[in-house]
A and B are shown apart, each in its own frame.
Chain A
Amino acid sequence: SYELTQPPSVSVSPGHTASITCSGDDLGYKYACWYQQKPGQSPVLVISQDTKRPSGIPERFSGSNSGNTATLTISGTQAMDEADYYCQAWDSNTAKVAFGGGTKLTVL
């Protein structure tokens, strides 16, 4: 099965830029997306198809995907952005969904 690897944790100071990576074989040839999950809540899509920001998601969230790595970038990080973030991709070989292990973003 297709595997996606994320760092377990990332820390950032308020107002600074946070980058969360997601690695997988030839990930750049697939669409990657990102979800934010706060404690006790369902996941929320924050980036789809590598770079698209759904309606209602702040402009400080952006995404990129190239080579073997997709990256979620949060510019001007706010305390409300503290959450778990999951990358996800579609394994076209097997037509199955793959999730990364998740990254806990701490804003301190």
Chain B
Amino acid sequence: EVQLVQSGAEVKKPGESLRISCKGSGYSFTSYWISWVRQMPGKGLEWMGRIDPSDSYTSYSPSFQGHVTISADKSISTAYLQWSTLKASDTAMYYCARHASSGSSHFDYWGQGTLFTVSS
């Protein structure tokens, strides 16, 4: 069974750093791209960027380029999303999602989401 299991909820202060994770299981992790998607409270889905776990090639939405870093450790089938300096506006639910195939545009499996709050 394909699963994407994300790390748990976090509460952070502005200016702190954070890394959240997404562990894939039940499939060949390096054969499928992983994307990260933000959903701010009461708002829609926003694509942040993606990674090809086979070679760690990344592509970012212009809206998030330079503010977050996407990485992966294929030895443990885990993708990461990290911030070096958090802002209150980063408060949101974050989902990882698997592309149906490398190069495919749609997502066939989603993680359960990681909610984090940035507040002083």
Interface of A toward B, CB cutoff 8 Å: 1, 30-31, 33, 35, 37, 42-45, 48-49, 54, 84, 86, 88-90, 95-102
Contact = CB atoms under 8 A, between A and B. Distances in A.
Interface residues of B, number: 22
Interface in B85-120: 95, 97, 100, 105-108, 110-113
Interface stretch (B9-17, B24-32, B39-47): B39-47
Contacts of A99: 37, 44-47
Candidate in A35, A48, A97 with the most chain B CB atoms within 10 angstroms: A97
B50 interface: yes
Contacts of A33: 105-106
B61 A96 contact: yes
A43 B111 CA distance: 9
A89 B107 CA distance: 11
B62 A1 contact: yes
Interface of B: 35, 37, 44-47, 50, 59, 61-63, 95, 97, 100, 105-108, 110-113
A86 B45 CA distance: 8
A43 B4 CA distance: 13
Chain B facing A: main interface SS: strand
A2 B61 CA distance: 11
B44 A42 contact: no
B46 A42 contact: no
Given A31-B105, A43-B95, A97 B50 contact: yes
A29 to B, nearest CB: 13
A14 B39 CA distance: 29
Contact of A45 (B50, B107, B113): B107
